[in-house]
Structure 1
Amino acid sequence: MSRRVSPLDKSPPSRLHRLWLSETIRLREEHAGPLEDSEANRRAQAQGGTLGERIQTRAWLLAERDGQVKALQHWLQGARLARLLLVLLAIIGGSALAVAALGDGQRPVNVFWALGSLLGLHLLLLLGWGLSLLLSRDGAGALGHLWLWLSEKLARDAQAAQLAPALLLVLQRQRLGRWGLGVLVHGFWLLTLLTALLTLLGLLTTRRYGFVWESTLLGADTFVAITNALSVLPRALGFSAPTVEMIHASTSDLYNSELVRQRWAVWLVGAVLIYGVLPRLLLLLLCLWRWRRGCAALTLDIHLPGYSLLRERLQPSSERLGVCDAAPAQLHQPQAGSNTHGSQGALLVAIELDPQRSWPPALPKGIGDAGVIDSREQRKQLLDQLSRFPPARLLIACDPRRSPDRGSLGLLGELARTASATRIWLLPPPPGEALDSARLGDWHRALAQLQLSYSDSAPLGWLETGHD
């Protein structure tokens, strides 16, 4: 039987993904009650590490079992699709800004109206982002929340609904939400303004535009002062700007001078680059730097109530027997698997056999006998031993006169996940008794659902040699 490949096997999860899923599991248990986690706790203890590392291991195993890992993959796919939609929106919006600012070239362009069309919305939203950085907890802004909403909708996974709140909670502890979503916001506007700038250059290169300023209330001196104020930075960076005479000459009657048109075109391009592109680029680099620095410092807050309750289960001060957890609100479906790492040898184990049955059978040399598992303590002891010394071949004997209940099937799945290959031996009835065909059919269906091979006769040859 081939091993089920999980995302954890393909590539190790990042620190952020592990913390993200840990918070998701914590929120889920706070909402729906404790999960059935005995196997996850046992494997987390066997892996070792600090309490925080064990909590993350437990959360990843539970998320892998219950579907949150797949939901995370779906959410990330939805996030990429949402990001692609924002990229397309930025490209279309930037082109539309430039075309709307310059028009079709049939009429002269009001330079200040064009500049306001290109940079007005950008400057207003930049001011809004700065205010949200001071007043909001995450500083995401409308665009950031739109991306989160689109990511969740495009994921199309019911489990993904818990991921967005968990992500925001993780990021808020280092105040990373503002910087991560800031990368998105400034990246969006940087692409929009770059597209507008390139479209502007294309239009100015291929069409002939005339530039004027027009006003009923303001005189030429006011426009000279405004133009000179806006030209300080462009001049410092080498962009030419209209002279006072050119500004005075830029009226509806005198806009056809080639030199005047070129000066206004260069001034407009320089203003978009300096007051639009450069601020967004610098803010994008700042947010990206703060994001990476914050991600490197992310840790798990083990003092939260949901994590504090796990201390005794993952780092017990003493071993306890008996039931220590409340009943889970929802039972999970048992699953089988296999383990190919460091496994060797062969082992026979039986589950809940009748005391009158003669056991064990005569075994070939080299095959271990784990006895009969009847109690919770025996089950835990055997699973702990198999976690440290996984067998290459495991034969599990079951009495088909008993019903295949969820506890027995769950134990079969746990045992199978410790061995490289597992088979089930459905024992024959004692002399004079017959098996219930309906109950035997239940066993066959249950084992087929677990994807475990079974046999009505003793596969001792396979157990000894690895083949039939």
Structure 2
Amino acid sequence: MSTQPSSLSFDDALVTEAIRRIESDGPLEDQSVLRQLAQTPEPAPWPSVRRARLLAERLGLPARVARARDLAPLVLIGLAALMVLAGLGLAGAVVDAQERRINVIASLAGLLGLHGLSLLVWVGALLLPGHGRAGALAGRLWLTLTARTALGRGREGAALLQAGAQLLERARLLPWLLGLASHLLWTLSFCVAVAALLAALALRRYTLGWETTLLDPAQFARAIDALAWLPGRLGFPVPDAALVRAAGDPASTPGPAGQAVLAWWLVGCVLVYGLLPRLLCATACVAVWALRRHRLQPDFALPYYRQLQARLDALAPARVVDAEHAQGQAGSLPQPASDAHGAPVLLAFELPPERPWPPVDVPAGIRTWACDGSAAGRDAAVRQVAAWRPGRLVVACQAAASPDRGTERLLRELLPLAGALHLGLVDADQASDAERARWPRWLQDAGLAATVSFHGQWQAGFATPSAEVQETTP
């Protein structure tokens, strides 16, 4: 049985993980919820999901999630407005309205410097494991503002935020989501900056050039030529060597045609090295999100979910049938495997967590395994026994516990995997006579007594010949 649902929505995954985090401080009262779940049994892990959904409704978590979904675009629009102002500020910093001169190298550094640094940080966060939250400052600002305004304070809001981040990190989507928000904001900023730059250059006359005092002018000229290579491949004008030298010499200012080439070179560099990378990165983020969004699932292999599923499995009443039904059912049971000759195996089933396992008095040459009773634990135990194919398998259960449907299901699945199957009790000397007696009676009622040997002590399962079928309870 699969323990990972294939169609769990993000909202269900989010509230399920949030309830787990809330219950890390102490279990929630869930008796009424458990009674409701017992009325409609489902395969694991859906009962855990339904329980979390019902508890989340009591705590008001779905309303917070809906509010966050509604406010997230509004927060992004607000940040976009700030980026528009930033784009206008970048364009204004490039254009000197008083002297009407533009230093193309300084302008390009001002337009692309912070963009290039933030882009490198985001790429580095993708390449370095565990640093997914380090990049995309604008994206983290969007996520933080959304959480503060929509999820509210208190343990519920914190649990939802942490649960969402955990799901995104587990699916390796957190840096991509934050990056998408950041790239969209930068894209808008560059669009505004380019539009403002084009408007200024189209409506007023400016002198474009470059100048330096400490650096080698030849290096500047080579930098302009190198930066012009990619925009030139995309159709933008490329300044030739004579124009580059003239732009760097205050005594020989280029003519109107040369100024137009330099202006288009500046616009082309902003588009190619600023806007285009952000568009490509945003597209990559959308593609990765589409490919990985199905991974946004809780980790149902965690001990919390295994223990919870064991509680939910115990809700189902034990399957008790009359003797006539048991006899008819026994004939349909799978028989022990005649070709299983592996080393003996001692399998613990639903023993208390505080009890040490394996016990110190296990005879030499006997393999041991422990099953916590969850669906995942039963599947793992069955797979391991199938791999070992033991000639003798002893399932050890707590004497004071009550046999239930999970115990019966496990025994039926183990029957065809071992040469002989035995059921023994742990701590039988600490249990009452009635508690010890109900185990062989349950085997009889469940139709298992003909194929599963019972022993009052698990040690007897290895001392008794395989041909023996039943032992009287001490």
TM-score higher than 0.5: yes
> What is the letter of the counterpart of residue 108 of structure 2?
L
Mapped partners of 1:45, 1:301: distance in 2: 23
SS at 2:97 equivalent: coil
Alpha carbons 2:15, 2:56 under 8 Å: kept? yes
Question: Of residues 9, 20, 43 in structure 1, which corresponds to 2:14?
Answer: 20
Query: Which residue matches 1:178?
Result: 175
Q: 1:238 to 1:185 in 2, by over 3 A?
A: same
Query: Which residue matches 1:359?
Result: none
Deviation at 1:171, TM superposition (A): 1.2
Q: TM-score with structure 2 length normalisation?
A: 0.61
Alpha carbons 1:82, 1:154 under 8 Å: kept? no
Q: 1:48 to 1:171 in 2, by over 3 A?
A: farther
Deviation at 1:49, TM superposition (A): 4.3
In structure 1, the gaps of 5 or more residues are: 1-12, 321-468
> What is the letter of the counterpart of residue 9 of structure 2?
R
Mapped partners of 1:97, 1:59: distance in 2: 49
> What is the letter of the counterpart of residue 307 of structure 1?
Y
Q: 1:151 to 1:15 in 2, by over 3 A?
A: same
Deviation at 1:277, TM superposition (A): 0.8
SS at 1:131 equivalent: helix
Mapped partners of 1:156, 1:27: distance in 2: 15
Deviation at 1:130, TM superposition (A): 1.8
Deviation at 1:43, TM superposition (A): 4.0
Deviation at 1:221, TM superposition (A): 2.7
Alpha carbons 1:79, 1:154 under 8 Å: kept? no
Question: Of residues 253, 263, 266 in structure 2, which corresponds to 1:265?
Answer: 263
Deviation at 1:80, TM superposition (A): 3.2
Query: Which residue matches 2:237?
Result: 240
SS at 2:45 equivalent: helix
Deviation at 1:257, TM superposition (A): 1.1
Mapped partners of 2:264, 2:285: distance in 1: 30
Is 2:152 aligned against 1:154? no
Deviation at 1:224, TM superposition (A): 2.3
Deviation at 1:47, TM superposition (A): 5.1
Query: Which residue matches 2:140?
Result: 145
Mapped partners of 2:179, 2:313: distance in 1: 39
Q: 1:103 to 1:43 in 2, by over 3 A?
A: farther
> What is the letter of the counterpart of residue 130 of structure 1?
V
Mapped partners of 1:224, 1:291: distance in 2: 42
The structure whose RCO (Cα within 8 Å, separation 6+) is larger is 1
Mapped partners of 1:121, 1:271: distance in 2: 15
Query: Which residue matches 2:291?
Result: 293
Q: TM-score with structure 1 length normalisation?
A: 0.62
Question: Of residues 197, 202, 208 in structure 1, which corresponds to 2:205?
Answer: 208
Task: Map 1:59-458 onto structure 2 (within 5 A).
Answer: 59-104=52-97, 106-135=99-128, 136-141=130-135, 142-155=137-150, 157-158=152-153, 159-250=156-247, 251-255=249-253, 257-316=255-314, 318-319=316-317
> What is the letter of the counterpart of residue 131 of structure 2?
R
Mapped partners of 1:209, 1:47: distance in 2: 76
RMSD: 2.3
Deviation at 1:316, TM superposition (A): 3.7
Greater CA drift, 69-78 or 91-100:
69-78
Q: 1:266 to 1:310 in 2, by over 3 A?
A: same
Query: Which residue matches 1:385?
Result: none
Q: Deviations over 1:416-442 (max 9, x none)?
A: xxxxxxxxxxxxxxxxxxxxxxxxxxx
SS at 1:62 equivalent: helix
SS at 1:309 equivalent: helix
Mapped partners of 2:187, 2:201: distance in 1: 21
Mapped partners of 2:147, 2:229: distance in 1: 46
Q: 1:282 to 1:234 in 2, by over 3 A?
A: same
Q: Percent identity?
A: 36
SS at 1:51 equivalent: coil
Alpha carbons 2:38, 2:316 under 8 Å: kept? no
Deviation at 1:302, TM superposition (A): 1.2
Q: Deviations over 1:358-410 (max 9, x none)?
A: xxxxxxxxxxxxxxxxxxxxxxxxxxxxxxxxxxxxxxxxxxxxxxxxxxxxx
Mapped partners of 2:202, 2:168: distance in 1: 46
Question: Of residues 9, 17, 40 in structure 1, which corresponds to 2:33?
Answer: 40
Greater CA drift, 301-310 or 237-246:
301-310
Mapped partners of 1:289, 1:45: distance in 2: 41
Deviation at 1:284, TM superposition (A): 0.9
Deviation at 1:27, TM superposition (A): 0.4
SS at 2:18 equivalent: helix
Count residues in correspondence: 308
> What is the letter of the counterpart of residue 56 of structure 1?
V
Q: 1:112 to 1:160 in 2, by over 3 A?
A: same
In structure 2, the gaps of 5 or more residues are: 1-6, 319-474
Mapped partners of 2:134, 2:188: distance in 1: 18
SS at 1:226 equivalent: helix
Mapped partners of 1:181, 1:46: distance in 2: 42
